[in-house]
Amino acid sequence: MAEVSDKIAMIVLFGVFIRYDEESDTGRWLELKKHENITSDVENDFYFRYPSFQDVHVMIFVGFGFLMTFLKRYSFGGVGFNFLIASFGLQWALLMQGWFHSLDHTTGKIYIGVESLINADFCCAGCLIAYGALLGKVSPVQLMVVTLFGITLFAVEEYIILSLLHCRDAGGSMVIHAFGGYYGLAISWVLYRPKLHQSSRLNGSVYHSDMFAMIGTLFLWMYWPSFNSAITDHGDGQHRAAINTYLALASSVLTTVAISSMSKKKGKLDMVHIQNATLAGGVAMGTSAEFMITPYGSLIVGFACGIISTFGYLFVTPFFEKYLKLQDTCGVHNLHALPGMLGGFIGAIVAASASEAVYSKEGLINTFDFEGKFANRTVGTQGGYQAAGTCVSIAFGIVGGACVGLVLRLPIWGDPADDNCFDDEVYWEVPEEEESIHPILEYNNHMVHKHQDISESNFSVEQS
Amino acid sequence: MAEVSDKIAMIVLFGVFIRYDEESDTGRWLELKKHENITSDVENDFYFRYPSFQDVHVMIFVGFGFLMTFLKRYSFGGVGFNFLIASFGLQWALLMQGWFHSLDHTTGKIYIGVESLINADFCCAGCLIAYGALLGKVSPVQLMVVTLFGITLFAVEEYIILSLLHCRDAGGSMVIHAFGGYYGLAISWVLYRPKLHQSSRLNGSVYHSDMFAMIGTLFLWMYWPSFNSAITDHGDGQHRAAINTYLALASSVLTTVAISSMSKKKGKLDMVHIQNATLAGGVAMGTSAEFMITPYGSLIVGFACGIISTFGYLFVTPFFEKYLKLQDTCGVHNLHALPGMLGGFIGAIVAASASEAVYSKEGLINTFDFEGKFANRTVGTQGGYQAAGTCVSIAFGIVGGACVGLVLRLPIWGDPADDNCFDDEVYWEVPEEEESIHPILEYNNHMVHKHQDISESNFSVEQS
Amino acid sequence: MAEVSDKIAMIVLFGVFIRYDEESDTGRWLELKKHENITSDVENDFYFRYPSFQDVHVMIFVGFGFLMTFLKRYSFGGVGFNFLIASFGLQWALLMQGWFHSLDHTTGKIYIGVESLINADFCCAGCLIAYGALLGKVSPVQLMVVTLFGITLFAVEEYIILSLLHCRDAGGSMVIHAFGGYYGLAISWVLYRPKLHQSSRLNGSVYHSDMFAMIGTLFLWMYWPSFNSAITDHGDGQHRAAINTYLALASSVLTTVAISSMSKKKGKLDMVHIQNATLAGGVAMGTSAEFMITPYGSLIVGFACGIISTFGYLFVTPFFEKYLKLQDTCGVHNLHALPGMLGGFIGAIVAASASEAVYSKEGLINTFDFEGKFANRTVGTQGGYQAAGTCVSIAFGIVGGACVGLVLRLPIWGDPADDNCFDDEVYWEVPEEEESIHPILEYNNHMVHKHQDISESNFSVEQS
């Protein structure tokens, strides 16, 4: 029901506010072409944003969705609720981001194009990150609430950071990852379940569920260069953002593997690290990908974050659970919150150390958009604002998340019992047959009491 | 064998008819550049169609393929025969569509480029939809026959609808989904199996097979904006088609989830609905995506079709099976036939209500292509023709499907026995090990007769 | 550890050598625009290479990665080590290819852009092919060595073939597939394990692992047109390469299915053939995709290679194992080595038979790049060089592989014991639960010998 009424409200709001922008509206596109002497329809921005948009779209729905299928009996919830959250979130995001960023005050309308779709998907990413911390412990209705407030908070902090503080954050280390990560962690902290161990039997993966999660990991990893370059300036900006992200990600993989194997007896690798820490380089490059961080700078960022993120999974998450009473199902702290925060500060440093020698005078202005009322800002000041922006995103995440968490503690949301967490049975019609794995165990337990020769059963096994 | 002889015939026909078009032929591209003062190779249409083509390509092979892997023991057939049908179909489609749409009567050749590849993939989609209704009940040879005739019928109805009636159908609500859906349903109706219940044990999903199906669902869902915009007019047309489809799909997800949870006791969600009905919005936007349907119009379409499609799965499919003797394995009626038909009529309404105020004079002409001998057509007339086109596609599907069904009833095609349906064992070398799940059940059944005492364990199997 | 030191060395080398190229460096892009009167940022090559790059990127990480998950208990290793190899390889490739192809001798720097990323991914493909032959039989450290030398050999043979011999090899039939295939086969031959049958129980697939492998197959198959067109000349070259590859691949599928079903009793299909031989057409079109091979020519190539590759799986691989003492886990000989070699010779024939009548004078020069010191080369000579290039790639593969194989025989690499091959347990923390399938078998086998209170089997369940 919630969804239906939501949708009707959404339709009304879209009817009142949302219109096609001048590149997607027939008449206005014709005007624009005349007005700006555009000779060909293929100069429409669609052709230079849409491929990146589709890559981002895949990251949101398959990347995040399948990354959260690693739990043995919560794969439906992982990919299914991700689907629900993102589909609801992107519509709400078009409205919220529109109101804060692109509301035309003369007409009172929001004009959307492909870039709006990318931003809407970005906005969802913040809430999906938060979902990662809550995975298996909340109800779909609670997730809708998390998304509703999450998108709203996102639009506000994004407005403050990008518009008021005039920070650059192409790939959203600050506005997406640091915010989303701390938002989810704060909610999870407020919703702490002392008796969660009662469903510990389900809080783990099986062989095939780890393989499904790798689908998510790889699509996130491969398309991250598109994520960080999707809304950067056309030309060298997008080109450089893709290269930097590509290098940082490759670098993360190697250090993650190294630390993971060093941490285990017999040097065995842990799938949890491979599925997550390998992505830290992309998160950390979110802010500085479009800057002249240099190729080896990108490798260093990936190198460091692969190490930090893996150590996070080894030590920080257990520490949080034990001492901070913070249960972080997917370890979003290590994959998003921490690398996002680092990415914000790396961006500040790279910005502060920018120089005309490296960027050229015009290049510096283009890259940092030192125009209008920011024409006189120096790179040093810019660096300071970037750092400030990072703190703002974290503050919004923690405070906002704490408040939303309190709302979610109301006993009206139908969240699962402590011994029903991480279990699809609660919210999904789960097919019977799959159970055919379990009865045997039951059956064996049962046979403990009755002693029988079952060699015949062997025979049938050999036969089959 | 069939395939080999097919292929040789195919090669001969390609040798006689198919040539590169002027954008993919070295010499002719050089001429074209000189002739039209094209200054740069990057103005080749390849760059403005190929990314969309690849998205469509993924929908055809991974989207449709994995969507049909939901059956517990027919996943090989689902993805494998989909692969076979589409690979054969796209070659046949290049010939059939070429003969009907782009045969150069002076040279007697068909000139193909990237747009031809997109259309060939579209053409396959019709047959893959039909396969959805027949899944698990027909032999590969029968599927080749279904494809051979399906592609042929498709080319004819497409010619009538797009060329003679001059309908607009960018995303193929009519020519692809309504046609393909009713084509498959008619075949399935003729091939009705009264004893199909004999393989009912296999006509269902298991946990992992539902996850594989979600891969198909998500790739279809994510890339549908590319599907509906792939062959639209460059510029605002493609841009708008993508936006509208994106919104309609997001809208479908929410209503599908709402209806699905309302329909079950304890508000549990049904994976069948999530896997299918969430896509109905994309189907229904196939015709009107390129029109100025407005963003909220798109939300309304998705909203309505999500509801209708989910109700279809809840009530219509069981009704069909019980009273119409129509077995629709994947429920293509609810996902393709019905939303496709609706999409056709929605397109008719949107076309009829188009106005110069909204489209601008020139925009109206561009969008509906009111040129040449259609220069004087009014939007009202256009709306009428759109509606007529929808009826033509349905008629072709039903009549064509009935005839093909009769051909398939000949006892020469090696179709599976009633108790062997939905079973990969019939057509595939299935690895042994996986059986390690089944013997236990067999063994248990077998033990019922032998030792009484473990019947309890069986009982527990039924229970679980 | 190896990885960490590697990475530090890598960072230093990047610091010394790697810089952004003129399309990704702010200042230099501004200069370039002024200098060449580029009016818009969207003329940056990024927009005309990046979509193909992303497709190739997916092939490398998801395509190759998941194709190697077919083994029942080595899926982690298949996709995980593929991830490791490619991430390391692409960094090393940027350096090696840079030194051999794009080192600016005035500045001593290597300037990288999106095309460099594509080439780096291509370079990795060679090593991933080699991994296919070694799958399950080597340690991660050995794979790093295979990659280190493989990338180096690749860069050298590529330099000889493309620069010195001036061959055309857009999709790398020679430099990627023939080289990579024979490189892996030679290593595997040197590392022959007479007692490998001791892990034969694990050298096979299960139902779900075959489904995961199909994900790899399909993404390779769908994106292969992008692979063969990614670095071709802009304009008609890329356009034609995509069309030819699309047709050859479709053609391979049909003949693979035909031969596969003809080869088995009851005409059953073998997943191994569907997963691999269907791709042979793409490999074989690697060299000639950009030529005017004609659409039906492409069908013929796909037709022939589908047959040859399937026969390879049926007869050649068993023959190799039995008589040549060559264990080829994935059958890379049939999918890469042989079709790659054929592709090289097909390219030679197509080049030799090129004519101005077909290409036009200017087209012929553009396609074969008959400029500078190659201005007077005839197509006949070109054909000869293409054939020579194929032999060079094979020689590099065999000789290089043999040497690397000898290095890998040193007893210092921690490779798995003969009875531990194809087992993730050796290098990965494998989740417990999944074992719930196996204990029963173990338990049953165990019961064959002794009939006892099976509480022990429970115990073994707890243990396992």
Q: What is the mean pLDDT of residues C116-130?
A: 96
Q: What is the pLDDT of residue B6?
A: 75
Distance from CA of A158 to the nearest CA of C (A): 26
Nearest CB partner across the interface for B440, out of C238, C360, C440: C440
User: What spatial distance separates the first Cα and last Cα of chain C, rounded to whole Å?
Assistant: 30
**HSE of C435 in the Cβ direction (CA atoms, 13 Å)?**
16
Q: What is the pLDDT of residue B267?
A: 86
- Among residues A294, A19, A255, the alpha carbon closest in space to that of C6 is found at A255
With tokens 């088609």, the residue in question is B241
pLDDT tens string C329-369: 999 999 999 999 999 999 999 999 999 999 999 999 999 99
- Among residues C302, C272, C310, C324, the alpha carbon closest in space to that of C132 is found at C272
Q: What is the pLDDT of residue A267?
A: 86
- Which of the four pLDDT bands, split at 50, 70 and 90, describes residue B2? low
B374 interfacial to chain C (CB closer than 8 Å): no
With tokens 């309304």, the residue in question is B300
Q: Is the pLDDT of residue C378 over 50?
A: yes
Is C114 in contact with A242 (Cβ distance < 8 A)? yes
Is C27 in contact with A360 (Cβ distance < 8 A)? yes
Is A76 in contact with B205 (Cβ distance < 8 A)? no
pLDDT tens string C251-306: 999 999 999 999 887 889 999 999 999 999 999 999 999 999 999 999 999 999 99
pLDDT tens string B284-328: 999 999 999 999 999 999 999 999 999 999 999 999 999 999 999
**By CA distance, what is A80's nearest residue in B?**
B274
C295 interfacial to chain B (CB closer than 8 Å): yes
Share of chain B above pLDDT 90, in %: 84
Interface of A with B in 135-194 (CB under 8 A): 140
- Among residues A346, A347, A309, the alpha carbon closest in space to that of A331 is found at A309
**By CA distance, what is C56's nearest residue in B?**
B54
Residue numbers in C near B80 (CB within 8 A): 214, 269, 271, 274
Which DSSP helix (H) or strand (E) runs through C196? Answer: none
pLDDT tens string B380-397: 999 999 999 999 999 999
Q: Is the pLDDT of residue B453 over 60?
A: no
Residues of chain A with pLDDT under 50: 434-464
Q: What is the mean pLDDT of residues C106-119?
A: 95
Evaluated on CA atoms C438, C444, C450, C453, the torsion sign reads: positive
Q: What is the mean pLDDT of residues C45-74?
A: 96
- Among residues B65, B62, B82, the alpha carbon closest in space to that of B143 is found at B82
Q: What angle do CA C266, C269, C270 make, to 5 degrees?
A: 125
Q: What is the pLDDT of residue C2?
A: 61
The CA distance from C146 to C143, in Å, is 5
Q: Is the pLDDT of residue C238 over 60?
A: yes
pLDDT tens string B188-222: 999 999 999 999 999 999 999 999 999 999 999 99
- Among residues A439, A432, A437, C266, the alpha carbon closest in space to that of B203 is found at A432
Distance of CA A296 to the CA centre of its chain: 26
In A64-139, which residue ranges form alpha helices assigned H by DSSP? 64-67, 75-97, 114-134
Residue numbers in B near A90 (CB within 8 A): 246, 250
Contact C255, C312 (CB under 8 A): no
Three-state DSSP at B111 gives strand
Which DSSP helix (H) or strand (E) runs through C392? Answer: helix C379-408
Q: Which of B13, B26, B124, B422 to mutate to test the interface with C (most CBs of C within 10 A)?
A: B26
The residues, ordered by sequence, that sit 6+ positions from C7 with a Cβ below 8 Å of its Cβ are: A251, A254, A255, A258, A299, A303
The residues, ordered by sequence, that sit 6+ positions from A109 with a Cβ below 8 Å of its Cβ are: A17, A18, A19, A103
**By CA distance, what is A439's nearest residue in B?**
B461
Contact A385, A167 (CB under 8 A): yes
Distance from CA of A434 to the nearest CA of B (A): 5
Interchain CB contacts (distance < 8 Å): B and C: 206
Three-state secondary structure of B136-156: CCCCHHHHHHHHHHHHHHHHH
Q: Is the pLDDT of residue C459 over 70?
A: no
Is C360 in contact with B26 (Cβ distance < 8 A)? yes
Q: What is the pLDDT of residue A2?
A: 61
Nearest CB partner across the interface for B250, out of A46, A90, A440: A90
Phi, psi for A260 (deg, rounded to 5): -60, -45
Q: What is the pLDDT of residue C463?
A: 33
The CA distance from B4 to B1, in Å, is 5
The CA distance from C453 to A340, in Å, is 56
Distances (CA, A) of A59 to A216, B219, C440: 8, 11, 39
Q: What is the pLDDT of residue A433?
A: 56
Q: Is the pLDDT of residue B447 over 60?
A: no
Helices A361-368 and C26-35: angle between axes, nearest 10 degrees: 120
Q: What is the pLDDT of residue A451?
A: 38
C449 interfacial to chain A (CB closer than 8 Å): no
Distance from CA of C462 to the nearest CA of B (A): 19
Mean pLDDT of chain B: 90
**By CA distance, what is A210's nearest residue in B?**
B208
Q: What is the mean pLDDT of residues C211-238?
A: 96
A79 interfacial to chain B (CB closer than 8 Å): yes
Burial (Cβ within 10 Å: 0-12, 13-18, ≥19) of residue A463: exposed
